[in-house]
């Protein structure tokens, strides 16, 4: 079964700092990759996704992520964070196979709690 | 115009009770899911339901049973609630098993 690792469980940054959140997955085949954000007390919202094509994908609110197949990584970046980016960030993987894949649902990492200090 | 909705938003109940959480999506999606988020914010799939086929995560106790009256609804029924069932339960939907999933607002369940 696939797994997803998010390296940092808690990250604290000052406003205007640059952000990079690491995500690695273990699965030998092709995957769809996602980053979701959960603001305090709210539901998960999609930040961005990668299915195919340009490995550098841009999402909402100035976020981007780069898929590096050789490293099984899909790191999330933002050049300048804001206080409103304080939230829980989840990386998720959905393998592209119908032999039990997809039907397993998304496999999530354990999340990174990001706190932005004003 | 809520895409994925859940009721109730909060549910406080006693151990041993039976409760249901409802989920509805108006996106016309074919696939729906239930996820459990524990106190450490870890999200784990419980069920996926696609074209009347139910896929169950083997770690889910059989006290949990999803019921889908139609394509737009996937309700979660829980029998004999236990303290460890306390969590936030999220419903989600997608066009098919591989497409982007859209999440509901969650139901915060507290078992006393």
How far apart CA B89 and CA B80 sit, in angstroms, is 17
Name the A residues in 59-78 with CB < 8 Å from any B CB.
none
Record: contact A38-B41, CB cut-off 8 A: yes
Pairing of strands B10-13, B107-111: parallel
A chain contacts of residue B35, beta-carbon cutoff 8 Å: 105
Record: contact B50-A103, CB cut-off 8 A: yes
pLDDT at A97 over 70: no
Size of interface A-B (CB pairs under 8 A): 58
CA nearest neighbour of B82 among B35, B18, B10 = B18
Q: What is the dihedral of CA B26, B28, B29, B32, to 10 degrees?
A: 40
What's residue B53's pLDDT? 81
Record the tokens describing residue A32, joined without a space: 């769809």
What's residue B29's pLDDT? 93
Q: Tell me the per-residue pLDDT of A34-77, one tens digit each, with 9 for 90 and over.
A: 999 999 888 899 999 999 999 999 999 999 999 999 999 999 99
pLDDT in tens, chain B (112 residues): 569 999 999 999 999 999 999 999 999 999 999 999 998 888 999 988 887 788 777 788 999 999 999 889 999 999 999 999 999 999 999 998 778 999 999 999 999 9
SS3 A94: strand
Q: Tell me the per-residue pLDDT of A78-87, one tens digit each, with 9 for 90 and over.
A: 999 999 999 9
Record: contact B100-A88, CB cut-off 8 A: no
How far apart CA B28 and CA B93 sit, in angstroms, is 9
Closest residue of chain A to B89, computed from CA coordinates: A43
Q: What is the dihedral of CA A99, A102, A103, A109, to 10 degrees?
A: 120
What's residue A104's pLDDT? 63
Q: Which helix (H) or strand (E) holds A73?
A: strand A73-78
What's residue A100's pLDDT? 46
Q: Which of B43, B53, B55 sits opposite A108 (nearest CB)?
A: B43
Q: Tell me the per-residue pLDDT of A23-34, one tens digit each, with 9 for 90 and over.
A: 999 987 888 999
How far apart CA A76 and CA A74 sit, in angstroms, is 7
CB B112 within 8 A of CB B13: yes
By the CB < 8 Å criterion, does A2 face chain B?
A: no
């Amino acid at each position: 079964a696939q797994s997803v690792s998010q390296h940092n469980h808690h990250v604290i940054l000052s406003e205007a700092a640059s952000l990079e959140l690491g995500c690695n997955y273990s699965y030998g085949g092709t995957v769809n990759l996602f980053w979701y954000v959960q603001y305090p007390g709210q539901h998960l919202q999609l930040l961005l996704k990668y299915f195919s094509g340009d490995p550098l994908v841009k999402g909402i609110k100035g976020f981007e992520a780069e898929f590096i197949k050789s490293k099984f990584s899909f790191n999330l970046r933002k050049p300048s964070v804001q206080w409103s980016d304080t939230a829980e960030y989840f990386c998720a993987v959905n393998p592209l196979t119908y032999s039990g894949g997809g039907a397993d649902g998304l496999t999530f990492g354990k999340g990174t709690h990001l706190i932005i200090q004003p | 115009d809520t895409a994925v909705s859940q009721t109730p938003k909060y549910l406080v109940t006693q151990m041993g009770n039976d409760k249901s959480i409802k989920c509805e999506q108006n996106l016309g999606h074919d696939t729906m899911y239930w996820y459990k988020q524990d106190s450490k914010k870890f999200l784990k799939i419980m069920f996926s339901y696609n074209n009347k086929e139910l896929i169950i995560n083997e770690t889910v106790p059989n006290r949990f049973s999803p019921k889908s009256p139609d394509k737009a609804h996937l309700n979660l029924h829980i029998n004999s609630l236990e303290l460890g069932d306390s969590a936030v339960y999220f419903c989600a939907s997608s066009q098919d098993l591989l497409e982007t999933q859209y999440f509901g607002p969650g139901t915060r369940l507290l078992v006393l």
